[in-house]
Amino acid sequence: MDRSVGAAVRRSAELERQLARDPGRFRVLTGDRPTGALHLGHYFGTLQNRVRLQDLGVEVFVLIADYQVLTDRDVAERLTEHVEGLLLDYLAIGVDPARSTVFNHSAVPALNQLLLPFLSLVSVAELGRNPTVKDEIAHSRQSAVSGLMYTYPVHQAADILFCKGDVVPVGQDQLPHLEITRTIARRFNERYGAVFPEPDALLSAAPLLLGTDATKMSKSRGNSIALGADADETARLIRRATTDADRYITYDPESRPGVSSLVLLAALCLDRDPYEVAEEIGAAGAAGLKRTVTEAVNARMAPIRARRAEYAQDMGYVREVLRAGNERANAVAEATLDEVREAMGTTR
Ligand code: TRP
């Protein structure tokens, strides 16, 4: 673990203590790109955590990042379908629109306007150094790198700062974006007067789940189990999952990534320790492991899938959730933009 990740882990632990003590003091902002169905990796990595924070009494904003989709592709395909899929996933896992605000980029003009002053606060060299952006450029399916690819972390700063979010639950890959957000907040405050908080990342404790092919779980690799998948599809995906030649099941993520990720998935679904789960399966081998995982996933996801199916029967309500969320996000964004105008001495 490098030093900055270590510091973020320690800071997250301290934040957790403060959140438990005084949840009303914090505002959480987090989001997803609408590029496909959310999967079990998202669920155990971040989604569950959002609901936990909401239920703790923290105010939560959930962004559907529909402009950020355009960083590594020319057109955002099937946007409406993906946005509605995310809304269904959020509602199914327990995001409560009475307490949490769900909104999308393109519906909140004042948020997007913050991009302009924010861009003036960072150098081109700083944008070029962002390791997550570099990695995305390396894996991009575009022949040319767009300006948005370099500047989207600044846009992400606007996502977080428009509502003065101070806690951002994310994975490690997002730490560089949090760093640029803190830099922008600090520079804005120094130059124009104190308007913005310097937000912290909140890293989740959940260990990393691999996909069914034992590589990184990803929407685009066809190796993930969607939240909305049914029991049969789940069984089929797990049956095809990569294991290894060792008959006896153990939990050993370093040398047995495929088998261990399946054990971990079962353990997360069962709220149990992966070493214990592996020991119990032991001689039952890969077939026994897959049986345990399938049962565990289907049992854990059954109520979520049932709720998702119910909401899918009422898309009018689902769309209304987003409309109301956007209305609230717009009010918050306009209030912040007014403060920014005041601080910068621009008029309206
Ligand atoms: N970059 C995030 C991702 O790829 C999505 C995102 C957009 C986000 N804006 C955000 C996350 C603001 C946290 C805060 O998953």
Q: Which residue has the tokens 């993906």?
A: 82
Residue 348 pLDDT: 77
Distance (Å, whole) CA 210 – CA 225: 11
* 302 CB neighbour count, 10 Å cutoff: 11
Ligand 1 neighbourhood includes 170 CB (under 6 angstroms): yes
Sketch the domain layout of the chain as residue ranges: 3-206+314-344, 231-312
Question: How distant, in Å, are the alpha carbons of 160, 161, 171, 222, 341 from that of 154?
Answer: 10, 10, 18, 30, 19
Which pLDDT tens digit goes with each residue over 137-157?
A: 988 878 899 999 999 999 999
SS3 content of the chain, % helix, strand, coil (to 5): 60, 10, 30
Residue 165 pLDDT: 98
Residue 72 pLDDT: 82
> Residue 232 above 80 pLDDT?
yes
- Which CATH code, of 1.10.150.650, 1.10.240.10, 3.40.50.300, 3.30.420.40, is assigned to 231-312? 1.10.240.10
* Coil, strand or helix at 277: helix
Residue 184 pLDDT: 98
* 222 CB neighbour count, 10 Å cutoff: 10
290 CA → ligand 1 middle, Å:
33
Q: Read off the pTM.
A: 0.94
Distance (Å, whole) CA 204 – CA 20: 15
Distance (Å, whole) CA 8 – CA 328: 31
**Mean predicted confidence (pLDDT) in 254-277:** 96
Are 3-206+314-344 and 231-312 equal in CATH topology? no
Residue 202 pLDDT: 94
Over the Cα atoms of the chain, what is R_g?
A: 21
> Residue 210 above 60 pLDDT?
yes
Do strands 59-64 and 200-203 pair parallel, antiparallel, or not at all (unpaired)? unpaired
Q: Output the residue whose Cα is nearest ligand 1's atom 9.
A: 156
Query: Which CATH code for domain 3-206+314-344?
Result: 3.40.50.620
> Residue 321 above 80 pLDDT?
yes
- The mean pLDDT of the chain is 94
Which pLDDT tens digit goes with each residue over 77-98?
A: 899 999 999 999 999 999 999 9
Ligand 1 neighbourhood includes 156 CB (under 6 angstroms): yes
Question: How distant, in Å, are the alpha carbons of 22, 138, 209, 214, 291 from that of 281?
Answer: 42, 40, 19, 19, 10
Q: Output the residue whose Cα is nearest ligand 1's atom 15.
A: 32
159 CA → ligand 1 middle, Å:
8
Which pLDDT tens digit goes with each residue over 117-139?
A: 999 999 999 999 999 999 999 88
Please report which confidence band the pLDDT of residue 3 belongs to, taking 50, 70 and 90 as the band edges.
low
Q: Which atom of ligand 1 is nearest to the CA of 169?
A: 13
Pocket test for ligand 1, best of 60, 61, 68, 217 (most atoms within 8 A of CB): 68
Please report which confidence band the pLDDT of residue 4 belongs to, taking 50, 70 and 90 as the band edges.
confident
* DSSP designation for 71: G
Which pLDDT tens digit goes with each residue over 171-200?
A: 888 999 999 999 999 999 999 999 999 999
> Residue 1 above 60 pLDDT?
no
Distance (Å, whole) CA 347 – CA 43: 44
Residue 2 pLDDT: 59
